Structure 1
């Protein structure tokens, strides 16, 4: 691939760090110190350039607050806080140990409630079904008499329907 011929540049090449030459210097109008607004001052930068800059106003002296005594209720609360926290922690620890027993007791309580409910509801249901079902036929009583004589005697019996 053939290379094309290039012509030399007429501007000199600048390297990194070389000072930049400005063709013309810009003249800024100067302000009198009386014309400067509050908080703006004329400063000289490290390169020797003078410019306007905003400045921080001087910090106002901090007002010192006199130490006040701690109220009695605050001291009492501060002393009670660890005690209450310790009591809550001990209660949680005890409940964690008692949890299996509490679960067993609740299951036993539910079983007792179910037993009581069955004891109350079952007879009421039996009464209502017995009254409705026995209106057509009277109740029959069956008696049975069995007797036997001797150790190896034969048993005999009678069945009476009344």
Structure 2
């Protein structure tokens, strides 16, 4: 079973509470086995700035689900938590991204692994490295080498 990493974010409602409830929902998915959870980080918005701060975290899971089925399950959870897809990078109750899926590399219009913005977001890299400090990309590069050049978005909370 591949180890996968999911990035979670929220900036509407009660973000911390929603993230904790989302972790419970993900851990209950058939074929997904929860391994680790990062601390929650607070960050300024990425993309569209005129919105509330985000609360972000990363989960490490083992999964028997295919990447496509995992994506569908994550989108179902987002919907259960009131996610409405209106504006790209706009405010949301819950966002779940597949960051990495084992050593898989894939690119399609609906799903790209590794996540296309993984290395440009400190609010993803810091929580990811918190739970997997020696993690490498499918091409073998250490993820930690990208953090020093990553734009800063995390706020001290």
TM-score bracket, normalised by the shorter chain, equals: under 0.3
Task: Report the structure number with the largest CA radius of gyration.
Answer: 1
Question: TM-score under structure 2 normalisation?
Answer: 0.13
Choose between structure 1 and 2 for higher RCO, CA contacts under 8 A separated by at least 6 residues: 2
**TM-score with structure 1 length normalisation?**
0.12
Larger relative strand fraction: 2
